[in-house]
Each structure stands twice: as structure tokens, then as C-alpha cells.
Amino acid sequence: MNIVYSSSDSYAAVAGVSLYSLMVNNSDCDELRIFIIDNHISEKNKEKLTSMCRQFGRDVTFIPIADIEKLVGTSIDVGRWNISTFARLFYGSLLPKSVDKVIHVDCDTMVMDSLKPLWDMDLSGKAVAGALECIGDSYKTEIGMQKDDIYLNAGNVMLNLDYIRENGLEEKFKKFIAGRDRLSFMDQPVLNACTTNEEKLVVDLRYNLYALVYYLKYKNVLKAKRVSHYYTDKEVALAKRNPCIVHFTTCFMDGTRPWIEGNRHPLVDRYLEYRAQTPWADEPLWTDDRSAVKKLGYTMFNKLPQGFVAGSIGTVHDKIIPMKNKLK
């Protein structure tokens, strides 16, 4: 298997915990090639990542990140995200030609099972395989997609690099980015808008269990995101009972994440167990530096009826944000 992470130095420890969990739960994999797209990771953290991989008999290859803005020929407003997230769109160029496909794993994850069933899926004629994103139709139409088009979460995806190279998809990505002043969710709309439904393979949610489904009841997940094309209640419940990749995305019901003090994710203890086995075990958790107003807001979200909160958030995502984006 070819596994790729993309990290800056500030997220190296977070990536390290995910990588540790991956190696623990994929120890029976005969060949596990690990690549890390290096967005100025310090030598100290590189050594920690390297030594940790060696404990499992694995090697890691650091690939210097390309100048993404130079690559696409325009400046990019990354907002609260890091520009390294765009790197996954250009793995076909960044990685050796001998690498025909990869599983990209986001840093803010915990791998709890073998990735081999995902790796063995047939990608013939497909550019990407991933889990459905929980997203409203307005975000699709904003980027020229139809409401019933397949929209994948780009956090944890398997990419068919041979297909991407042969079909010139990187050039499509560049043109799409260059033609937009702003992109909601960074590289994700690029990947979705530039690939057809036929070029996408939808996989089980267990390969990308983002935080929202852990904090909200199923009906409120749909209400909060105004999503019309999604998994069934049974499919979500089954994925939660048998997770493979848990994705610690931000969520309006909890303003922190497992490496930050005070996190309330149901699997935070499991995450901290993995963290305690890594070279960053003795480093303190990140300080919760949210303002008092933000902390109060999250407290109120958890005290108010969940259906009311989900409905209010749904209005923001379905009406207010799209209108704001259109004005911009």
C-alpha cells in the first residue's frame, strides 16, 4: 500500500499520532510505503517520524511540497486552513511515476482497522474513491455541480494517479483554482467539480467518520447540513460500530479536537492512548485558546435542544453562507 500524509511542522505531532495508529493496525501489510508531503517540517520532527516508522520496520519518504501558488499561477486565500491541503491534487506530479495509486490520509485522523479492503477496491476508470461529504446542495451549485452529483469528502481518499496523469486532471485542477477568488473547503470543491460522477467511487463511511456523525443524531445531521444525497441511518450506525478511519474534523458542537485540552469526542480516550505511545507523548496538549464568547457559544449549543441547533446551523449553511460567498 502507498500511504500519503501532507503536513506542516505545526501539525507534525498530530500526523504522527495518526501514522502510529495506521502502522499498529496495518502491521500485517507486506509492503507499506509511506510518503509525507513536507511543508517545512522541522528536522527534529522529521527524525521523530522516521524513528517511529523504523520501530515498525517501515521507511518514510519526505517529499518537499511544491509552491502551490506558483504552480497554479495565482494567489490562494487559504483562510484558517494550510495551503498544504492542496498538495493532494498534485500527487501525480509530486510522487514518483512508479506510484500508480495512493491512499491519502489526513493528519487529524485515527486509523482503527486495516486499510487493505479499501486498497483492494477496483479503481478502473476512476480518479478517486472516498466517502460522501455531508454537504448541502448550495455548495454544489456554487461550483457548477448539479444537486444530485456525487460530492466526496477529500479528507481521506484513494487516488488513481495513473488515471489522473493520463487524463490531464492536474491541469483541470489548476484552471479551476485560478478561476476562483475563493474556495469553500479548499481543495475539496476542486476535486469534486473537476471529476465526473463516473470518475468517483463512493466508499463506506467507515473510511472517513468525520466528527459531525458522532455529535448529532442522524436526523439532525441531515437537518444541520441540508443534505439530500447521503448515507442511510443504518449505514451511518454500522460505520460507527465498525470504524476504520476516524476523522477529527471541527464541529460546531465541540470547539476543540483530541490534541486540544477539554475535547469531548467519544473516542478521545482511544486517541490519547495512541498518542501516549508516540515520540510526542510528553508534549502537553494544545491550549484551548478560544475566546470566552466562542466558548460560551459552544456551551449554549450543547444546552439547547439539538434539533433547534441543527436547524439554525442548517439555515446558515443553506442560505447565509452561500449568499455571502456570492457577494464576495
**Residue written as grid cell 478517486:** 128
How far is it, in rounded angstroms, from Cα 115 to Cα 98? 21
Q: Where are the domains of the chain?
A: 2-327
Overall fold of domain 2-327: Spore Coat Polysaccharide Biosynthesis Protein SpsA; Chain A (3.90.550)
Instruction: Write the pLDDT tens digit of every residue in 109-129.
Output: 999 999 999 999 999 999 999
Residues with Cβ < 8 Å from 176, sequence gap 6 or more? 190, 193, 194
- In degrees rounded to 5, what are phi and psi of residue 284? -70, 155
User: pTM (2 decimals)?
Assistant: 0.92
Is pLDDT above 60 for 65?
A: yes
Instruction: Write the pLDDT tens digit of every residue in 153-201.
Output: 999 999 999 999 999 999 999 888 887 666 666 789 999 999 999 999 9
**Residue written as grid cell 486517541:** 271
